[in-house]
Amino acid sequence: MASDEAFVPRPVIVTAALTKTFPGVKAISDVSISIRAGEVTAILGQNGAGKSTLIQILAGIHPSGSYSGELQMEGKPFAPINAEEAELAGVALVPQEINIVPEMTVAENICLNAEPTRWGLIDVGARKAKAFAALCEFELDIDADTQMGFLDLATQQLVVIARALAKNVKLLILDEPTAALTENEALRLFDRVRKLKAQGVATIFVSHRLGEVFSIADRIVVMRDGRIHGDHAASGVSRMDVVTEMVGEVTDNTPRRLEGNVQEPQLEVRNLTVFDPVDARRARVEDFSFLVRRGEVLGLFGLLGAGCTEVGLSIYGAWRGRSTGDILIEGRKVSIARPQEAIELGLGLLAQDRRDGLIGDQSVFDNMMVAANARGHPLRSVDRAAQRRSAADLMTMLNIKAKSLDAETRTLSGGNQQKVQIARWLVIDARILILLDPTRGVDVGARTEIHKVWLDLSKRGRSFVIVSSDADELAEVCDRAIVMRKGQKAGELSGENLTERALVRLATDG
Amino acid sequence: MADKSVTMNSELNTNSRSRLDILTSSMRAPRDSMLLLVLAAVWLFFYFATNGTFLTQRNLLLLALQTSIVSLAAINAVTLIVTRNFDLSVGSAVALVGVILALLTVKYDYGAVIGVIAAIAAGVVMGVWQGLWVARIGVSSFIVTLAGMLYFRGLSMIATNGATIAPLPDSLTDLATGFLPRGPSIAVIVLAFLGYLLFRLQDLLRARSLGLAPQLSSDLARIGAPAVMAALLCIWLASNQGIPYLVLLVAICATAAEVLMRRTRFGARLYAIGGNPEAARLSGIDLKRMIFWNFVIAGFGYGVTGVALTARVSGAIGGTAGLFLELDAIAAAIIGGTSLSGGRGRVLGALLGALLMGSLNNGMSLMNVPIFYQNTARGAVLLLAVAIDHLSRTRPV
C-alpha cells in the first residue's frame, strides 16, 4: 500500500485458495484475494480469465460446495448456497445485462420480489416510500412512478445499483458496468461509486477499459487463465505492465502470410455510422471506414460495446437500427438494406449466437440449403439430388462430423455446427464471409480445425471479416486487424505488429 | 445454382465416394408410421366392435367422404402452422365462400362455372386480406384469424339474413356427391401409381448419376411396397362404384400441397421460417413476403374447401356451415405430427390425422355411442397426440 496511509482498511471479504472446475476446464485456481472496505478494486483480464467465475462465487451464484477453498466475510466464515443468501449477507452483484422489467415502474422494479405487504396484499404506499428512500439515498432524482423502460440505459443501471444498495450492502460488484454506456454516462456512474466508497462500501469493478480502471480504481487485480497474476495499488503500476500481465508472455511467431499476393479490394466500407435501434440519436459506430482485399482475413477486435458487431450486422443489412455510409463491393457502390441484398452481392454472415443461425430441429442438409433455397423464384423446384450431392461433398470437405446429412443439427457439437453454417454459404458460393464471434463455445481442437478451414477458403479467394473479442484467435488467423474502441477505429495492425498484446493494448487503452 | 455448386465442389477436388453410406436418406417420418399403427389398431377395434361393418367397402367410402372436408382444411392448417401461424378463421371463411357460391348460382342464376370461379376468387381475397394484416401490419395471426372467424361468420349471416340458400344447381351437387365411374377410376389410380413410381424412379436415377444412391433396388422396394399397397387398397375401394369426386379433389389438393411444401423453394423457405425465423432472415429469406403468400395460398384453400362443402350439402347455411372446422383441422394437423412450434409437419400426416379423427366419429356412430361420448373421446385423442408431440421434443437443444 501507499506509504502515506498508516492504516490499512479492514477487509470485507477474504478468499483463500479458491478453485473451481467446470467439466474439463479449471475456471479459477488458487485465488486468494482480500477486498477491503472503502476501496474500489478493479479486476482485469481477458475473456475466459476467470473474472466472472470469481465474482459469481462471491455473489453466491455458484453455491458453496461446488468449489474448493474458503471465503470469509468480516472475519467470519462465509458460505452462501445461493444468491439470496449472499445478498442477505451484504453482497450485491450488478450483472452486465441488468435485470429489469421495462414495463414496470421504477418503484415496482426496486421492490421486485421484496414487495412490502399488508394483510397479504402489496402495500402500494409502502412500496413507493421504500423506492423513494432508495432513490434519495443514492441521490437519484427520478420519479418512482416512471416506467422503467422510459429511462435511458445509464439511469436504469443506476436504479439497479440503488436497488442493490437498498439492502445494506457491504460489497458491491459491478460487472462491466460501462460496456453499454456513453462517456458522460460512465462519468455519472463513477461519481456515485466514489460516494459509496466514501461511505465505506467495498466495490469490485470488472472492466477491460484501462482508462476507466485507472481513473476509478484504488487497486488493480489482474487475472489470466484462472489465476491472479498481479495485485497492485493503482498508483504504482503502468498501463503497459497491466496489459503484459493480462496477455502473458506470448511467443508470437505465427508465420504471417506474405503480403502482395492478391490485392484487389473486395469490400470497402466508407464512413459507416450506425445508430442504436431504440435510441435513434445514439450512434453506436461513428464514421468507420475499412477495406478488405480479396482472399484476406481481416479481424475486427473490440471490447463489449465497441461497435464491432454493429459494423458486421449493418454491412450485411441485418442491423435493426439506422445506418449511414457507403459500401463498395469490387469497387462498385452498392446499397444493402436487407440480408437478401447482401447475399446477392456475395456476402454471407455467421450469427453471433449459433441459435440465431441454425435451425436446430432440422437436418444438417436442410440447414446447409437454407440460403440456396432463399434465392431464386419461389416456385422453382428444388433439385434435391444435386443439393444432396453438394451437401455431401461439403460435409467431406469441411470434415463435418454428424451421423448423416439427416441428423438434427442441434445434436452436433459447437464446432461442427459452425462448419454447417460455413457450408451454407459455400453452397451459394459467397465471396465475403462475415463471422461474428465464430468460435465462442467451440473447444480448442475444433477451433484449430475451423481456423484451417478459413485459411483454406481464403487462399481460394474468399474474404473474411472476423468480428471477435478473442485477441489470441485474431492474432493467430488474421492477415490484418482493426481495433475498435467506443464506436471508432482505434488502430490497425498487420504483419509483425499484429500480436495479442498489441490488440488488447489498443482496445483497452481508452 | 445447384449445378454451380456441384462444379464448385468438384473443383475443390473432394473425394467422398467412401462416405456414400451416409447419404441414403433414413426413414424421415417415424411419427407417420406410428400414426399408421395407431390407425390400424383403431380400425381393428371398430372392426370387431361393429361385427365387421366398419371395414366394409361401403363404410370406408363413406368414411373417406366424411373426412374429405376436414382433410382439405387440415392441408391448409399444415401450411400455416409450419410457419408458426394459426388459422382460426377457416370455418367461417368456408361458410362465407359457400354463401357467395350459393347466392351467385341460386339467387342470381349465374352458371356453376362462374359461381365456382367467383367463390374461389373470394377465398383468395380473404387470404390476401388476412395476409396483409399479419405480414404487413404485423398483427399476430392468432388475433387476425380470430377476428376473421367472427366477421366472416357475421358477413355470411348478413348476406343470407340467416336463411339457408338451396338447392344448388345439379351440376355442382353431382360433382360433390357423384362418383367417377369404375373404369376411369381404376385407370386414374393406376396412372397415379405409375406416375408416382416414375417420379421417384427419376429421383433415384438422378441421385445415382450424381453418385448418391448405391442400392437402387432396395430404395425402389422401400418406395414401391407402400405405394403398391395403397394402390391395391384404392382399387378395391373403387371396384364397385368408382372414386367419389370429392375424394379425388382431396387427393389432387394434397399432392399439390405436398409438392409445394417439399419440392419447391417456397416450401423450403416456409419450413426454415418456422424452424428459426432469425436464421431464415439472416439467410436472406424475405419473411414478410413469404408469410403473405402463405396466407394467400390458405385463401385459395378456403375457396376450394368452401365450394366442396357447399356442393356436398347442396346449399349454404351461413350460420352453421363449417362450424368448428378450424379446430378439427388444427387437431388433424397436430395429430399428424405438425409441430405447434413450427418448422415441422407433413401434409400426408395431416390426412392421416383427419382420417383418425374421422374413424373415431364413424366407428363410434356405428356403435351407437352418444355424441357426447364421441366428443369426449376425440378430445382425449387430441390431448394425447399433443402430449406425444411435446415429449418427443423436450430433448436438450
**Interchain contact B290–A (C-beta under 8 A):** yes
The answer to whether A28 and A226 have CB atoms below 8 angstroms apart is: yes
Residues of A in contact with B4 (CB under 8 A): 429
* Cell triple for A289: 471506414
How far is residue B331 from each of residues B251, B350, B373, B380, measured CA to CA in Å? 20, 9, 18, 11
Which residue spans within A262-395 are E strands per DSSP? 265-275, 283-293, 297-301, 323-329, 332-334, 347-350
φ/ψ of A131, rounded to 5, equals: -65, -40
Residues making up chain A, counted from first to last: 510
**Residue A27, pLDDT score:** 83
Rounded distance, CA B255 to CA B271, Å?
18
Name the residue in chain B with its Cα closest to that of A354: B279
Interface test with A, best of B282, B289, B344, B390 (most A CBs within 10 A): B282
Rounded distance, CA A423 to CA A391, Å?
8
**Interchain contact A372–B (C-beta under 8 A):** yes
Residues of B in contact with A343 (CB under 8 A): 283-284
How far is residue A185 from each of residues A136, A153, A160, A212, B331, measured CA to CA in Å? 19, 9, 15, 12, 54
Interface test with B, best of A389, A404, A427, A458 (most B CBs within 10 A): A389
In eight-state DSSP terms, residue A257 is: P
Radius of gyration, alpha carbons of chain B: 22
Chain-chain contact of A356 with B282 (C-beta, under 8 angstroms): yes
Strand A463-468, strand A297-301: pairing: parallel
- Pick the more confident residue, A376 or B6: A376
pLDDT at B10 over 50: no
Nearest to A490, CA basis, from A217, A313, A308, A323: A308
Q: Which of residues 140-179 of B touch A (CB under 8 A)?
A: none
**Chain-centroid distance, C-alpha A481:** 18
The answer to whether A471 and A503 have CB atoms below 8 angstroms apart is: yes
**Interchain contact A349–B (C-beta under 8 A):** yes
Q: Which residues contact B383 (CB under 8 A, 6 or more apart)?
A: none
Task: Report the amino acid identity of residue B339.
Answer: S
Rounded distance, CA B387 to CA A503, Å?
53
Which residue spans within B178-323 are E strands per DSSP? 179-180, 243-244, 316-317
Residues of B in contact with A410 (CB under 8 A): 396-397
Chain-chain contact of B212 with A387 (C-beta, under 8 angstroms): no
φ/ψ of A32, rounded to 5, equals: -120, 125
Q: Which of residues 285-324 of A touch B (CB under 8 A)?
A: 316, 318
Name the residue in chain A with its Cα closest to that of B211: A389
A402-413 as b/e: b if 16+ CB within 10 A: bebbbbbbbebe
Q: Which residues contact A254 (CB under 8 A, 6 or more apart)?
A: A475, A476
Residues of B in contact with A429 (CB under 8 A): 4-5, 8
**Residue B214, pLDDT score:** 65
Rounded distance, CA A287 to CA B211, Å?
52
**Interchain contact B394–A (C-beta under 8 A):** no
- The distance of B292 to chain A (nearest Cα, Å) reads 13
Query: How many other C-beta atoms lie within 10 A of the C-beta of residue B151?
Result: 13
In eight-state DSSP terms, residue B163 is: -
In eight-state DSSP terms, residue A105 is: B
Residues of B in contact with A372 (CB under 8 A): 1-2, 5
CA angle B127, B144, B389 (to 5 degrees): 90
Rounded distance, CA B269 to CA B253, Å?
20
- Which residue among A343, A370, A376 places its CB closest to the CB of B279? A370
Strand B179-180, strand A347-350: pairing: unpaired
The answer to whether A391 and A423 have CB atoms below 8 angstroms apart is: yes
Rounded distance, CA B51 to CA B348, Å?
30
* Cell triple for A323: 445506418
Rounded distance, CA B336 to CA B345, Å?
8
Nearest to B329, CA basis, from B41, B80, B35, B132: B80
Task: Report helix angle B347-366 to B325-335, nearest 10.
Answer: 110
Radius of gyration, alpha carbons of chain A: 25
Please report the number of interchain residue pairs, chain A to chain B, with beta-carbon separation below 8 angstroms. 180
Rounded distance, CA B98 to CA B123, Å?
10
Q: Kindly indicate whether the ipTM for this predicted assembly is greater than 0.90, answering yes or no.
A: no
Query: How many other C-beta atoms lie within 10 A of the C-beta of residue B210?
Result: 20
Rounded distance, CA A504 to CA B122, Å?
64
SS3 label, residue A221 = strand
Q: Which of residues 207-266 of B touch A (CB under 8 A)?
A: 207, 209-212, 263-266
The answer to whether A308 and A438 have CB atoms below 8 angstroms apart is: no
Average pLDDT over residues B88-105: 95
Residues making up chain B, counted from first to last: 397
**Interchain contact A346–B (C-beta under 8 A):** no
Residues of A in contact with B344 (CB under 8 A): 361
- The distance of B147 to chain A (nearest Cα, Å) reads 27
Q: Which of residues 23-52 of B touch A (CB under 8 A)?
A: 23, 25-26, 28
Interface test with B, best of A396, A400, A409, A419 (most B CBs within 10 A): A396
The answer to whether B340 and B330 have CB atoms below 8 angstroms apart is: no
Q: How many helices (H) and strands (E) does chain B have?
A: 16, 4
Residues of A in contact with B22 (CB under 8 A): 392, 395, 403-405
Which residue spans within B167-234 are E strands per DSSP? 179-180
Grid cell 445415382 is found at B208
List the domains of chain A with CATH numbers.
1-90+168-249 (3.40.50.300), 100-167 (no CATH), 265-346+431-508 (3.40.50.300), 360-429 (no CATH)
Residues of A in contact with B265 (CB under 8 A): 373-382
Task: Report the amino acid identity of residue A19.
Answer: T
- Which residue among B9, B26, B264 places its CB closest to the CB of A379? B264
Name the residue in chain A with its Cα closest to that of B8: A429
The answer to whether A195 and A115 have CB atoms below 8 angstroms apart is: no
* Cell triple for B244: 367419389
Nearest to A352, CA basis, from A299, A309, A308, A298: A309
Rounded distance, CA A415 to CA A446, Å?
5
Nearest to B57, CA basis, from B241, B251, B312, B246: B241
Strand A68-73, strand A283-293: pairing: unpaired
Residues of A in contact with B202 (CB under 8 A): none
Chain-chain contact of B8 with A429 (C-beta, under 8 angstroms): yes
**Residue A377, pLDDT score:** 85
- Which residue among B2, B6, B283 places its CB closest to the CB of A370? B283
**Residue B17, pLDDT score:** 35
* Cell triple for B183: 373404369
Task: Report the amino acid identity of residue A207.
Answer: S
Residues of A in contact with B278 (CB under 8 A): 351, 356-357
Task: Report the amino acid identity of residue B309.
Answer: L
pLDDT of chain A, 510 residues: tens digit per residue: 444 444 567 888 888 888 888 776 678 888 999 899 889 999 988 777 888 889 989 988 888 888 888 888 888 888 888 888 888 888 988 887 777 888 888 988 888 877 888 888 888 888 888 888 888 877 778 888 888 888 877 788 888 888 887 777 889 999 888 777 777 778 878 888 888 888 889 999 988 778 888 888 999 999 888 889 889 888 888 888 888 888 776 555 555 554 555 578 899 999 999 998 877 888 889 999 999 998 899 999 988 778 898 999 999 999 988 999 999 999 899 999 999 999 999 999 998 877 788 998 899 999 999 999 998 888 888 888 888 889 999 998 888 888 888 888 988 888 888 899 999 999 999 999 999 988 776 776 778 888 888 888 888 889 999 998 888 888 888 989 999 988 889 999 888 888 888 888 888 876
**Residue A260, pLDDT score:** 52
Query: How many other C-beta atoms lie within 10 A of the C-beta of residue A276?
Result: 16
* Cell triple for B90: 377457416
- Which residue among A355, A376, A388 places its CB closest to the CB of B265? A376
Rounded distance, CA A259 to CA A314, Å?
28
Task: Report helix angle B30-49 to B347-366, nearest 10.
Answer: 10
* Cell triple for A327: 459500401
**Residue B11, pLDDT score:** 34
**Chain-centroid distance, C-alpha A423:** 26
Chain-chain contact of A395 with B19 (C-beta, under 8 angstroms): yes
**Residue B21, pLDDT score:** 35
Q: Which of residues 325-364 of B touch A (CB under 8 A)?
A: 339, 343-344
**Residue B211, pLDDT score:** 77
The answer to whether B118 and B107 have CB atoms below 8 angstroms apart is: no
The answer to whether A492 and A462 have CB atoms below 8 angstroms apart is: no
- Which residue among B1, B211, B282 places its CB closest to the CB of A428? B1
Element (H, E) at A14: strand A11-22
Which residue spans within A103-155 are E strands per DSSP? 117-118, 121-122
**Residue A4, pLDDT score:** 44
Average pLDDT over residues B278-305: 94
Condensed to tens digits (0 to 9), the pLDDT of residues B154-210 reads 999 999 988 899 888 888 888 888 999 999 999 999 999 999 999 888 888 888 888
**Residue A8, pLDDT score:** 63
Condensed to tens digits (0 to 9), the pLDDT of residues B114-161 reads 999 999 999 999 999 999 999 999 999 999 999 999 999 999 999 998
